[in-house]
Amino acid sequence: MPARTLPTDGSTQLSLVVPIYNEEEVIEALHSRIVQVLAPVVAKWNVVFVNDGSSDSSAGMIDAICNADKRFKALHFSRNFGHQAAVTAGMHVSDGAVVVVIDADLQDPPELILEMLEHWVDGSDVVYAQKKKRHGIGPVKRAAYYAYYRFLGRLTEVAVPPDTGDFCLMDRHIVDLLNAMPERNRYIRGLRAWLGFKQTAILFDRPGRYAGTTKYPLRKMVALAFDGILSLSKAPLKLAMFFGFFASAISFMLGLFFVVERLRGPGYLARGWASTIVVVLFLGGVQLICLGVIGEFIGRIYDEVKQRPLYVVSRSTGI
């Protein structure tokens, strides 16, 4: 396959999509790192900042950058819609022949974009960054991440590469395909893997945040984890069947045991209180779990049926 080249007809060669939620401590550093990395290598590039309803001074800082440098543009959401919605919005308005999604906090080193670009030149449609090591998080969180991605890999039909985030470089046609996907509960790294094509990983040690604190509190992280599982797998629905079989097998054996016990003479069976309670509680619990799983899927179907927009833009700068 002949090497790919960036367009030279004056159209945008590379777009960067950066979701931003209360990142006032990092925006200046982010800005200069991006310029430092891209300016010497790519002739025509731009950056889409997506301000996901920040309540600090991020909005003003972003606008100041955009007004001073036309390569920078911004979308401002009407409220906080979440990281995945912000990335989606950025991809909708990006116009580069290749598009890079990157976190604002410099945990995704911009320098890696150049390495990603080399793989794209060699024919990769998606180049994603895979974390070898994570700095700046505790052992519990690290173990949870590790376990989650392995679990997700087993559950889903498409192989979502473990330990990847949204940091990646995509060819234009991949972005167009993602933009055409209608679903509301978006787990972008999963949708990206689902698409197929030639995908390449590059390994990196993920540094800690440049400054500030994580914008992913436990609640948001758990929600994203569920989105991952539920948007890529129907396995939880099969859980109900599994529990059903399991409970039937146990009750069948119990029945057999009671018959044998009865035949061997009276005495024991009167003491059935504990076993009855245990069985009732167990079955009640199983039924509630299954109802919860079904409810979760119905909730998602409801979200899709409503067809509400994924995000609302209150204003834009430079677009």
Residue 104 within binding range of ligand UDP, rule CB under 6 A: yes
Picked from Mg ion, ligand UDP, none, the partner binding residue 199 (CB below 5 to 8 A depending on kind) is: none
Picked from ligand UDP, Mg ion, none, the partner binding residue 108 (CB below 5 to 8 A depending on kind) is: none
Among 20, 74, 106, 174, binds ligand UDP (CB under 6 A): 20
Residue 171 within binding range of ligand UDP, rule CB under 6 A: no
Residue 86 within binding range of ligand UDP, rule CB under 6 A: yes
* Order of strands across the sheet that contains 14-20: 199-206, 126-134, 164-171, 98-101, 14-20, 45-51, 72-77, 313-317
Picked from Mg ion, ligand UDP, none, the partner binding residue 192 (CB below 5 to 8 A depending on kind) is: none
Residues 90-149 that bind Mg ion (CB under 5 A): 105, 107
Among 12, 34, 37, 52, binds ligand UDP (CB under 6 A): 52
- SS3 sequence of 42-60: CCCEEEEEEECCCCCCHHH
| CB closer to Mg ion, 151 vs 210 | 210
Among 49, 82, 89, 236, binds ligand UDP (CB under 6 A): 82
Q: Is 260 exposed, middle or buried (0-12, 13-18, 19+ CB in 10 A)?
A: exposed
Beta strands in the chain (DSSP E): 14-20, 45-51, 72-77, 98-101, 126-134, 164-171, 199-206, 313-317
Picked from Mg ion, ligand UDP, none, the partner binding residue 131 (CB below 5 to 8 A depending on kind) is: none
Number of residues engaging ligand UDP in binding (CB under 6 A): 16
230, 221, 222: which is closest to 152 by C-alpha? 230
- In the complex, minimum distance from the CB of residue 108 to Mg ion, in angstroms, rounded to a whole number: 8
Enumerate residues 6+ apart whose C-beta is below 8 A from 231: 183, 185, 186, 187, 190, 191, 300
Neighbours of 20 (CB within 10 A): 30
Query: Pattern of binders to ligand UDP over 107-126, x per CB under 6 A?
Result: x-------------------
Among 73, 90, 105, 192, binds ligand UDP (CB under 6 A): 105
CA distance 50 to 318: 12
- In the complex, minimum distance from the CB of residue 87 to ligand UDP, in angstroms, rounded to a whole number: 8
Backbone angles phi, psi at 125, to 5 degrees: -90, -30
Residue 80 within binding range of ligand UDP, rule CB under 6 A: yes
Among 13, 17, 19, 46, binds ligand UDP (CB under 6 A): 19
| CA 46 from centre of chain | 24
Residue 83 within binding range of ligand UDP, rule CB under 6 A: yes
CA distance 65 to 28: 9
CA distance 110 to 114: 8
**Residues making contact with Mg ion (CB under 5 A):** 105, 107
**Residues making contact with ligand UDP (CB under 6 A):** 19-21, 23, 52, 80, 82-83, 86, 103-105, 107, 214-216
